[in-house]
Structure 1
């Protein structure tokens, strides 16, 4: 009877199977605002879980106990890229719904399943396990290469979708830290890089070792990919969910040289901001400001973008930063912390406050406050 040879790497993979399956089930079955998007990410997690089970089955020689275990299809690598991309599409646009047209993304997965059937048939005919067949040695390098290309390309499109979404946030929200997806952007980059690093592994294995490297030789990448996938799933599930107040779509009016009417409206808008102090509302959005001014959001966006050459976030936060500066110079707010003053002036997070202040004034809030004490006016 064969013994299970446990080591550091396969212990981590065993742990990743249980942790990944837990988060996968939570993402798929927990009723949340973004459940439809979470289901897609849950499927990504389960693909990595199944893949890890396949790796462990080879390492522990499960076929000695279950001779036909290799017939179970556990590899769905060509579905990873499409699922991640569609997850991003859904998470960045609550109104986006999957359609029959989206099923075209999963056609390559059929190729992977057909190849599995070919390998399984040859294995049965020759009474060997799948990885010992000629079909596996010839076809699996092709599948691996296609998976790498697919995942990298889909990750690039997903990153572009997130960048577009962040641009939309800046044009519609003054305080948007709660809505941004910088965490997902960073993790997708790492995920794509790890898959890209698979390329030299595959080339070296196929060209130099005739595709005979053992499972243990691939352990570092297996472990890293499992950890990154679980990290993405955990972040997505554990982060507080938010509902965007407006539909995520581009403004229908394209930017062009401002007309005299737009310039006049821009001057009027600046006066309204100072008179009514709209910027003190930390929940101010393009739509809510448009409602207060009794103007269409698209027109307001055009006035800000074309008439003032700013996005909505920069436009509002500039008033907030100036209000903070006025308070710092007045001397009447020395008993209040910088963060406290920033909250009074419409910011609702330290990160947004520090970033906006430095972008507008070119100096951190703390250093600005110190400069006032050093060089009082």
Structure 2
């Protein structure tokens, strides 16, 4: 099978699956409609970008519509950026200010206007044949890769902040979601790096290598999209967003007016800490797998801001780790209880407030140095 036929087959399979998944995302009933719609748009933009091998079978000459289709690649990474925002923050809404993400797309099309869009067919053909010497195309590719670098960095910063906010304010299983979305972004970054290599060869003396890399890119893109959606669709509660108005503890501390205010707060923290620990022991709120710092704040009547400073700053623990400490100690008590020797580790983890075996094992080993099973055997 020659390279062209293989490219067509891989492209057709990729397009079919991407379109099917995009259709599913926009039609499935869910409360995460914006996130699903944004990822569906991301899929469709990838379809538009990948369809070129099929179009070349029926369209021989360059056209304005064909060039416009190529420039839609400038919308892919901004849409993915907005998708990550929508996943991380529960109060995300599509706002007018996000139009600024269209800027690179608009700039590129304005640059191409004089010597491509506004000329006849012969000039268009000449423009593309001499692509290596056309400053507009060189500018387009440079801008595309600069855009990718900026947005990928921005996505990693969002994920890093969102994970910290989650750890400081929540004690559920969703922290694993941020780790997984981080992994997906890493894979996507690798995909764009391969695209960069392809484009370097495209403007070199070895354009055939570029075509070979293109086949691998389409196949790789298909695999990671299926991987992502398989994970997301099999775990409908994978991502539980947080409020974007929440502040990191380090930012709260920096907002304190002066050291005297901090010193005054320190005195209040001692009594608040006793109240908090007594509440955790008496009421056992940690048994709630979806416990948040707001829940605790409401119960013990301490403002969320003060409670966050108390746990994350004074105790030097994330709320996530603080709650898991009580869960692990409760699990240890059950494991030590001879009358409960037939209770399985899986039953115990659900009983103490965990809802994931992996997160329970990780937390237990972090606290005790052993897995739950090994700990029970040593008793």
Determine which of 88, 94, 105 is the counterpart of 1:98: 94
Q: What's 2:354 paired with?
A: 347
CA distance in 2: counterparts of 1:344 and 1:130, whole angstroms: 68
Q: What's 2:147 paired with?
A: 150
CA distance in 1: counterparts of 2:281 and 2:357, whole angstroms: 24
Determine which structure has the larger helix proportion and give its number.
Answer: 2
Q: How does 1:7-86 map to 2 (within 5 A)?
A: 7-58=5-56, 60=57, 62-64=58-60, 71-72=65-66, 73-75=68-70, 76-86=72-82
CA contact (8 A) 2:88 2:162 kept: yes
Q: What's 2:320 paired with?
A: 313
CA distance in 1: counterparts of 2:108 and 2:292, whole angstroms: 47
* CA RMSD, 1 decimal: 3.0
Q: Which moved more, 1:349-358 or 1:237-246?
A: 237-246
3-state SS of 1:221 partner: helix
Q: What's 1:375 paired with?
A: none
3-state SS of 1:342 partner: helix
Q: Which moved more, 1:118-127 or 1:361-370?
A: 118-127
CA-to-aligned-CA distance 1:288-314 (integer Å, 9 cap, x gap)? 222222332222222222332211111
Q: 1:153 to 1:46 in 2, by over 3 A?
A: same
Q: What's 1:298 paired with?
A: 305
CA distance in 2: counterparts of 1:55 and 1:123, whole angstroms: 24
Tell me the matched-pair count: 364
Q: 1:303 to 1:43 in 2, by over 3 A?
A: same
Q: 1:363 to 1:9 in 2, by over 3 A?
A: farther
CA-CA distance at 1:356 after TM superposition: 1.2
CA contact (8 A) 1:304 1:312 kept: yes
CA contact (8 A) 1:246 1:287 kept: no
Q: How does 1:1-377 map to 2 (within 5 A)?
A: 7-58=5-56, 60=57, 62-64=58-60, 71-72=65-66, 73-75=68-70, 76-114=72-110, 117=113, 118-122=115-119, 124-126=121-123, 128=125, 131-132=128-129, 134=131, 138-177=135-174, 180-209=177-206, 215-233=211-229, 235-237=231-233, 239-241=235-237, 244=240, 247-251=243-247, 254-255=252-253, 259-372=266-379
Q: 1:243 to 1:220 in 2, by over 3 A?
A: closer
CA contact (8 A) 1:23 1:42 kept: yes
CA-CA distance at 1:237 after TM superposition: 5.0
3-state SS of 2:203 partner: helix
Q: Which ranges of structure 2 fall in alignment gaps of 5 or more residues?
A: 254-261
TM-score by length of 2: 0.84
Q: 1:340 to 1:300 in 2, by over 3 A?
A: same
Q: Which ranges of structure 1 fall in alignment gaps of 5 or more residues?
A: 373-377
CA-CA distance at 1:338 after TM superposition: 1.4
TM-score by length of 1: 0.85
CA distance in 1: counterparts of 2:119 and 2:136, whole angstroms: 13
CA-to-aligned-CA distance 1:331-350 (integer Å, 9 cap, x gap)? 12101111212222222221
CA contact (8 A) 2:18 2:47 kept: yes
Q: 1:271 to 1:127 in 2, by over 3 A?
A: closer
